[in-house]
Structure 1
Amino acid sequence: MRTENIDQLVKVEYHQTTSCPLKDSQFSFFQIVYVISGKGFLKINNNIASFSKGSLILLTPNDHHYLEICENTELLLVKFSERYVKEYKWNSINSMECLLYGASFLSGCILQNKPDVVLVDSIITSLLHGLNNPDLYQQELTLHYVNALIVIAARNISKMRAENVTSNTDKRVIDIIDYIQGNIHDPSLLKISAISRKYGFSETYLGSYFKKQSGETIQQYILNYKMRLIEHRLLFSDMRVNEIVTEFGFSDESHLNKFFKKRHHVSLTEFKKMKGLKALV
């Protein structure tokens, strides 16, 4: 497998293809993939999801991914380096890089906020126009459009944060949430004792501080975030239940089913079947 790099901070490419332009490669940069037309399947890490016209996909550095294209497909690829994300002065967004890396736990289209669909369509149209009709200050305009796409991607990924966390929330809580999301697969690192040691809080103060800032206890946030990821695996991946058990550190399938049924009042299999039927309606 070859490694692909980019020689600039931001690069925009248009592809019309019947075969995967992202194949047998590992990338050292972020990519936003917008599907202008066509359809197929995205395999990313251990997940698989369908894509179609209007899908917005975020690929993070070192993800293992492959596009299986089912028909003639048009793609706009927006590539940007980790250095660009780190060095750009984002006005009100804490830990932009951590936010974007949250996409590695997802698969498929990240557009969850419906009003953003219109915005993204407009930005993509503008980027395509710039590619086809380069003009004075085109590079500056392109950077503005790319920044807007990055912020929209971050906003949609952040929907998986605690509901009451905003850009005005204390940065230490944002850091704690980023830590939780980054270590969600390792139960030992999610213990209150481990988190309190890392951030220099007493266990008692950490609990009250996190709840005051986010509106839910730290344990509730961990469980809710883990549940959303498991739901995503069931709906958008071909992972087996025993693979989900291993990924999230459950002792066995019975333990996972008990955890899941406590929230949804149905088994994992019943949940997947119910959601699948609703999608067909």
Structure 2
Amino acid sequence: MLKKMFMNRYTLHETFVVHQYSIDEWEAKPHNHNYFEIIFIEQGKGYHTINGIRFPYKENNIFLLAPEDTHHFEIEKRTNFTYFKFTELLFSSKINLPDRKYWLQRIEQLLHHPNIIPGDAISHEGDRNIIWDIHNLVLEEFKNEKIYYQEIISNAISTILSIIVRNISEKYNPKKKETPASYNKIDLILSHIRQNAYDNDRTKINFLADKFNMSQSSISTYFKRKTGESIHQYVTKYKMKLVEYRLQHTEFTIAEIAYQLGYTDESHLTKTFKKHFEMSPKQYRKELAINN
């Protein structure tokens, strides 16, 4: 039996919605969607399968699902769920957040992070407590709609995502003794590049070689063997993915995007972009507008 604890209601320009359920049986088939979900388990237990990987869930677990993730639950004990669902518009420049550039960095890390940690998103109990406190704040603001509630909710979700990214990043820290042996070094290198794509110095070969205790020649050879690309090629291609994403989902100017991603100027970004997409960023954005 399904009990919906309060009606679904869209806010924040239809970019954010809260669902709350108390159920004994999961009736939905495995499915994906085109938005993000943060799922809170208030009580209950069972199994959660994300992208084919099955693991137990319990009270106070927190899950993050990105667009295109497929999931379903198997419920063993009646479970209370709270879902925060939101789209890219929540962290685009359509909402005038002063820190929207940092919002975008958090989201991009989550979008492009290799999905090899699909379970409970939090590894530090202190962080878990903080997120649950923010969860309570969001529910109050969402229900009461007091002045500035939209800005409060937007910043609250930003904080939750930042904490989740921190927990994921720490799991990939190669200097931590508890890093599981199953995490290949190439996964750690790729994760570092994705997390530091905005800082040119931290993605250079000499920095990577020092961080991962390899010589510059050995890390270059190893990276090429594992990915089929040089480090420079991979970094450039990844940055182009970020540029494309920002052209699609934000209103940043080309100059602003160039600055955010560490290019010397707009012309440098445009030249690189044209090599990959056979058109300039301005032409790309114009094509998007025509097709949409």
The TM-score, its normalising length taken from structure 2, stands at: 0.53
Instruction: Report how far residue 122 of structure 1 moved.
Output: 0.7
CA separation of 1:111 and 1:100: change in aligned 2, threshold 3 A? farther
What count of residue pairs does the alignment treat as equivalent? 183
Among residues 74, 98, 116, which one is paired with 1:105 in the alignment?
116
Partners of 1:13 and 1:77 within 8 A in 2: yes
What SS does the corresponding residue of 1:70 show, helix, strand or coil? strand
Instruction: Report how far residue 11 of structure 1 moved.
Output: 2.2
Partners of 2:142 and 2:153 within 8 A in 1: no
Task: Note if 1:151 corresponds to 2:162.
Answer: yes
Task: Note if 1:135 corresponds to 2:146.
Answer: yes
Instruction: Report how far residue 152 of structure 1 moved.
Output: 1.1
Instruction: Report how far residue 47 of structure 1 moved.
Output: 0.5
What SS does the corresponding residue of 1:13 show, helix, strand or coil? strand
Counterpart of 1:117 in structure 2 is 128
Counterpart of 1:81 in structure 2 is 87
What SS does the corresponding residue of 2:73 show, helix, strand or coil? strand
Unaligned 5+ residue runs, structure 2? Answer: 1-9, 94-98, 177-187, 196-203, 224-292
Can you list the C-alpha shifts for 1:40-97, whole angstroms capped at 9, x where unaligned?
A: 1111112101111110111111112111122221111111223545657244985641
Distance in 1 between the 2:52 and 2:193 partners?
21
Task: Note if 1:72 corresponds to 2:78.
Answer: yes
What SS does the corresponding residue of 1:104 show, helix, strand or coil? coil
Among residues 205, 208, 211, which one is paired with 2:209 in the alignment?
211
Q: Which amino acid aligns with 2:19?
A: E
Counterpart of 1:41 in structure 2 is 47
Distance in 1 between the 2:175 and 2:103 partners?
16
Partners of 2:109 and 2:165 within 8 A in 1: no
CA separation of 1:85 and 1:142: change in aligned 2, threshold 3 A? closer
What SS does the corresponding residue of 1:35 show, helix, strand or coil? strand
Partners of 2:112 and 2:194 within 8 A in 1: no
Q: Which amino acid aligns with 1:82?
A: E
Partners of 2:18 and 2:83 within 8 A in 1: yes
Counterpart of 1:177 in structure 2 is 190
Partners of 2:39 and 2:84 within 8 A in 1: yes
Counterpart of 1:9 in structure 2 is 15
Distance in 2 between the 1:21 and 1:140 partners?
35
CA separation of 1:103 and 1:152: change in aligned 2, threshold 3 A? farther
Distance in 1 between the 2:127 and 2:193 partners?
27
Counterpart of 1:63 in structure 2 is 69
What SS does the corresponding residue of 2:77 show, helix, strand or coil? coil
Unaligned 5+ residue runs, structure 1? Answer: 1-5, 166-174, 183-204, 223-281
Distance in 2 between the 1:30 and 1:138 partners?
20
Can you list the C-alpha shifts for 1:230-270, whole angstroms capped at 9, x where unaligned?
A: xxxxxxxxxxxxxxxxxxxxxxxxxxxxxxxxxxxxxxxxx
Instruction: Report how far residue 22 of structure 1 moved.
Output: 5.5
- Whose relative contact order is higher, 1 or 2, with alpha carbons under 8 Å and at least 6 apart? 1
Distance in 2 between the 1:67 and 1:86 partners?
31
Distance in 2 between the 1:33 and 1:103 partners?
20
Counterpart of 1:29 in structure 2 is 35
Partners of 2:18 and 2:84 within 8 A in 1: yes
Point out the more displaced range, 106-115 or 9-18. 9-18
RMSD (Å), alpha carbons: 3.5
The TM-score, its normalising length taken from structure 1, stands at: 0.54
CA separation of 1:131 and 1:15: change in aligned 2, threshold 3 A? farther
Distance in 2 between the 1:21 and 1:126 partners?
30
Counterpart of 1:259 in structure 2 is none
Can you list the C-alpha shifts for 1:139-178, whole angstroms capped at 9, x where unaligned?
A: 222212211111111111111333569xxxxxxxxx9634
Q: Which amino acid aligns with 1:158?
A: S
CA separation of 1:146 and 1:25: change in aligned 2, threshold 3 A? same
What SS does the corresponding residue of 2:74 show, helix, strand or coil? strand
Partners of 2:91 and 2:103 within 8 A in 1: no
Among residues 6, 18, 23, which one is paired with 2:24 in the alignment?
18
Q: Percent identity?
A: 22
